[in-house]
Amino acid sequence: MLFNPSNFVATLLIPGCALAVTTLNASATLGHNFTLAALNTTFSNANSTGAPLVLGSAGSVDGESFHLSSTYYSYPFDDYPALSLVNGNLRAFDREGNWHTNASAPFMGYEALSWATSTFYSDPASTAFSAINIPASIYPILAVNGVYNLWYLCPSDMRLGQDSVYYNTTSIASSKAYPADINCYSVTLNMVPVSMSPMS
């Protein structure tokens, strides 16, 4: 079954003045592979790298499987240990180094950091991703359409119970299809060079 993020209600946490305008240095391509790690922007963090994220499971159909970026803590399998950013495409490589996985930009109705893997189908990858350098971060951080401060980590009440990355939770909060009280919190997504990744 396909994970449906509209199935729950989120409690909103607005990141405090995260929109302070500085000159942003965005790149559509990063010269090295990386993994993602989620850093709290409203709560304190255990360290400056953040909680490691992996491609969690989000169902499949014949010939294609789907994933959501989820915390390794909630989904302790790291089948895609290297990501890359090339011309705005966010790509994932499996353990053998194969590239059959692209990320989709969040869109209205599915505002998540979602991925699809297929050796059968070919969908043009999103070109909306970028890496942004902000003075407050030692790592480049992931943005979509230049926006880096609308990512949230949301616990799930679904069967697999993954804590996954969503975007712009106002749209999740406005979908009251599921009577759960889900607490999302604002995060930034660090792009941690693979050589420095705790899981490499």
Ligand X SMILES: *[C@@H]1O[C@H](CO)[C@@H](O)[C@H](O)[C@H]1NC(C)=O
Instruction: Name the residues that contact ligand X, by CB under 6 A.
Output: 25, 27, 31-33, 38, 40, 43, 45-47, 49-52, 82, 84, 89, 93, 97, 100, 102, 118, 122-125, 133, 140, 147, 150, 153, 168, 170-171, 174, 185, 198
173 three-class SS: helix
If the CB atoms of residues 113 and 153 are measured against ligand X, the closer one turns out to be: 153
50 three-class SS: coil
Location of structure tokens 């109705």: 109
Alpha carbon 182 to chain centroid, angstroms: 18
What minimum distance in Å lies between the beta carbon of 89 and ligand X?
6
Beta-bridge mates of residue 91: 84, 102
Nearest-angstrom CA–CA distance, 2 and 124:
21
If the CB atoms of residues 52 and 56 are measured against ligand X, the closer one turns out to be: 52
If the CB atoms of residues 123 and 181 are measured against ligand X, the closer one turns out to be: 123
Strands 141-144, 129-133: parallel, antiparallel or unpaired by DSSP?
A: antiparallel
What minimum distance in Å lies between the beta carbon of 26 and ligand X?
8
Nearest-angstrom CA–CA distance, 133 and 118:
32
Token output for 19: 């929109």
If the CB atoms of residues 82 and 113 are measured against ligand X, the closer one turns out to be: 82
Strands 181-183, 151-154: parallel, antiparallel or unpaired by DSSP?
A: unpaired
What minimum distance in Å lies between the beta carbon of 21 and ligand X?
16
Instruction: Please count the residues of the chain.
Output: 200
Identity of residue 42: T
What minimum distance in Å lies between the beta carbon of 34 and ligand X?
9
What minimum distance in Å lies between the beta carbon of 179 and ligand X?
20
What minimum distance in Å lies between the beta carbon of 1 and ligand X?
21
If the CB atoms of residues 66 and 185 are measured against ligand X, the closer one turns out to be: 185
Q: Are 182 and 157 in contact (CB under 8 A)?
A: yes
Q: Indicate the DSSP class of residue 32.
A: S
